[in-house]
Amino acid sequence: MYSTFYKKKLDELLYYTHRNLPVSPASDKLITNAFRFAYEAHKNDKRASGEPFITHPYDVALILAKEIPLDAVSIAAALLHDVVEDTKFTLKDIKAEFGDEVAEIVNGATKIEGMFGNYEMKQVESYKKMLLSMTSDIRVILIKFADRLHNLRTLEFLSTAKQIRLAQETLEIYAPLAHRFGLSSVKTELEDLSFKFLDRKAYDEIAKKLKEKKREREKFIKRFIEPIKERLTKEGYKFEISGRAKHLHSIYKKIVSRNKTFDELYDLFAVRIILDTKNKNDCFSVYGICSEIYLPVPERFKDYISLPKQNNYQSIHTTLVSKEGKMVEVQIRTKEMHEIAEKGIAAHWKYKENNSLHDTNLENWMKWIRESMEMSSKDDTTSQVLESFKLNLYQNEIYCFTPKGELKILPAGATAVDFAFEIHTQIGLQCIGAKVNGKIVNLDTPLKSGDQIEILTSKNQKPKLDWEKFVVTHKAKSDIRKYFNTERRKLIQTGKDIWERKIRKHKIHLSDENFSKIIHRLKYKDTGQFYYVISQDEGKISEVIDILTDKNKLQSLEQRNLFAEDAKLTESISDNFDKYVQEARTSKNGIILGNGSTQNINGLKYDFAKCCNPIPGDEVIGFISYEKGIRIHRRTCKNILNLFLREPERIVQINWNEAGGQEFTGGIKIIGEDKPGILNQITKTISKNFNSNIKSVDIKTRSSMFEGTLILSIQNLKQLNQIIEKINSQEGVFSVERFEQ
């Protein structure tokens, strides 16, 4: 069926499966059948490199077998993970051939395919899908890590624009997420590969300097570890000891954050001692031996064995001063700790069937990951959810305690208020003060690892608005926002009840539209703000009541043209409203838009809504407004949907006249590589090829990317789509889409 070459590939995959997982004829059969199925499904497909497509799912499966050993089901699912997305075969076919378990994992991987393909809302929705997939089976996200790792390893075959986009999203999301899962080796390689494509000059410079000093470094490490090696052997320990340079991106971050040169950094490498023991106390004994040989730096000692990180990382970290006066970071851990440090949640998953303790650990770990990423309330904006998601990925940790000794792990920079909300939302809301290590401190004081915090509360206390400025956990931020939004809604309802009682008492009858105009003219943003203000100060009502009950004051407002335009339009609409609605309901074509500059339909004024900027070619609909005549919206506009639900009798059907010539406003949103001259290329493309006037340009840059909005003079939808297509084909442009306000 396939060549000797692919037979050898399958044998290699089975070899690593046997080396890292229990040997089973059933497992071999499952992997072999999955390989054959994937080979047949992808046999006519090619990768960007020109290689047969099967090389990608094969290499993803090999990563799972060799670098993140899971099980035969995972390896089979990895071989099949692109079949449903890219071939004629369906999930039903996978289920029939391989059963429910494999099909569910393939389905989960398919659902989150391209999960980071766009920003803002698309990202947030993708994260939710990912969280759901993790709920069903952790192997889904582990396959995605292997998939991204292989894509990064073969990134040189893609265009520069795609390289930058994939590297950027890997560095922002995949690498820190791999860290959250404890996949240290995967996270390290993802960071280095991303760094290579985002800043090749800096990458090459650091790599070159590391290579130049490699021999010198190896000699130093050999001298440094020799006395430790001799002493541990003498004491009867079974161990491995080695020195390694820190990875390139880690060194680059140190150079940037410390504002130092490569040669000024002292902690460019670390020594690792891995003990073959089940007794974690041996790690502390070995630390004692190392401290006898070399002088330790006390403030750089970290005990992650007694207090593991939330991703279950365990190790002792210390810094020792060598005989030459150089500081060397040393890590001490057991074999099992090392496997969990390198393979994280995958190592826990591997052990779970035989060890109930790891079952509990795995369950708690998954719960923590989900909670750390899904804590968002309905009041949070998309950008707030996105900011929180990334914050939870990147955060360093501190370890704090309640007065009873209960451990709370918080992000670095957390305050007593963060700690209070971490205990319970109600404790946070009623927090009036805090004692840190027995001393009263300000609520915005940053906490440190080892602090013991006692939260002081009062039933009469309420959160302060400025709390949100200094808290750092998403839970605290979200709970504070939720509280104030709830309180505001309550006060708005209270104000509305007060207002309605007052106007009933004064027997005032006022349409919602005229009421909104008065409120706006009195400098309130909307009726909600007015209700909120009068809930705090009922005296504000009298100003409006006076105007409505005093003819002179009302007339004065009318003279200031508050109702002038409305009066004319109301008369026109009153005469024509029934006629237009009837025409729209009975006519096949509805009301036809004119093309003249007068912008009127049979004598009735109309204009185009700014919220959606309709242009010829868009499906449009009209809303009869007492203020603006007929307002034309795109049918997909959120505002027109709300108006339709509220007042369907004022909706009229609108169609475009076939004649052209009039100019309209349209916008495009562009994301691309931030490189010299790219904006000039884009504007030249528009003016040269389409003779379109650019009304405004708004460009924002982030790292090596830019995001820009261009507002243009457009004749119709066809022209706008042509512009989008033309710009999208330019080198360095990642995506172009119509701008939606």
Neighbour count for residue 674 (Cβ, 10 Å): 17
Which amino acid does the sequence have at 239? F
State the distance between the two ends of the chain, measured CA to CA, in whole angstroms.
Answer: 55
Residues whose CB is less than 8 angstroms from the CB of residue 506 and which lie 6 or more positions away in sequence, other chains included: 545, 548, 549
From residue 641, alpha-carbon distances to 371, 615, 635 in Å are 34, 18, 8
Rounded Cα–Cα distance for residues 75 and 35 (Å)? 10
Catalytic positions are 85-86
Q: Quick one: 129 exposed, middle or buried, by C-beta within 10 A (0-12, 13-18, 19+)? A: middle
- How far CA 85 is from CA of 30, 109, 439, in Å, comes to 21, 10, 59
Helix 100-111 and helix 139-153, axial crossing angle in degrees, nearest 10: 50
The sign of the CA dihedral 209, 211, 214, 215 is negative
Q: Per residue in 696-724, is it b (16+ CB within 10 Å) or e — as a string? A: eeeeeeeeebbbbebbbebbbbebbeebb
| Cα separation, 129 vs 139, whole angstroms | 14
Phi and psi (nearest 5°) for 140?
-60, -50
Beta carbons within 10 angstroms of residue 452's beta carbon = 14
Residue among 254, 272, 247, 256 nearest 328 (CA): 272
- Quote the CA–CA distance of 528 and 534 in Å, as a whole number: 10
Q: 565-571 long-range CB contacts below 8 Å, 24 or more apart?
A: 565/627, 566/514, 566/517, 566/626, 566/627, 569/605, 569/625, 569/626, 569/627, 569/628, 569/629, 570/626
Structure tokens at 662: 């009039």
What are the CA-CA distances from residue 632 to residues 45, 124, 493, 636, 676 (Å)? 47, 32, 33, 12, 40
What distance in Å separates the CA atoms of residue 181 and residue 67, rounded to the nearest whole number? 15
Sign of CA dihedral 266, 267, 269, 273: positive
Query: Do the Cβ atoms of 654 and 710 come closer than 8 Å?
Result: no
Q: How far is it, in rounded angstroms, from Cα 320 to Cα 661?
A: 78
Cα gap 541→518, rounded to integer Å = 12
